[in-house]
Amino acid sequence: MKKEAFDDELSMDKIDDYNETPPEKKKTLIKVIIAILAVAVVLGGLKYYYSDDDYIGTQEHPGIRR
C-alpha cells in the first residue's frame, strides 16, 4: 500500500496539543488511565467472586444440572 492510503488515519501526532504537552502531563495521564483500568479489573473480579450461583434447586428437590 502507498503512504497516501494511510494519511487519512488518526494518529497522536496529528492532534495539535500532543506534541506541545509536557512529558510530566503525559506520564500523569498514562498513570490515571492505568489506575482506572486497575480499579475496573478489581471491581470486575469482586463482582464475579460474589455473584450468585446459577444453580436452581435444593438437596431435597434437585434442579437442572448441565
pLDDT for res 26 = 83
Local confidence pLDDT in tens for the 66 residues of the chain: 555 656 666 666 666 666 677 889 889 989 999 999 999 999 999 998 887 766 677 777 777 654
What Å distances lie between residue 58 and 20, 48, 52, 66, CA to CA? 64, 22, 15, 15
Specify if 40 maps to a domain: yes
pLDDT for res 59 = 74
Specify if 31 maps to a domain: yes
Cα distance between residue 38 and residue 51, in whole Å: 20
Boundaries of domain holding 36: 22-50
Specify if 45 maps to a domain: yes
**Number of domains the chain is built from:** 1
pTM: 0.54
Specify if 28 maps to a domain: yes
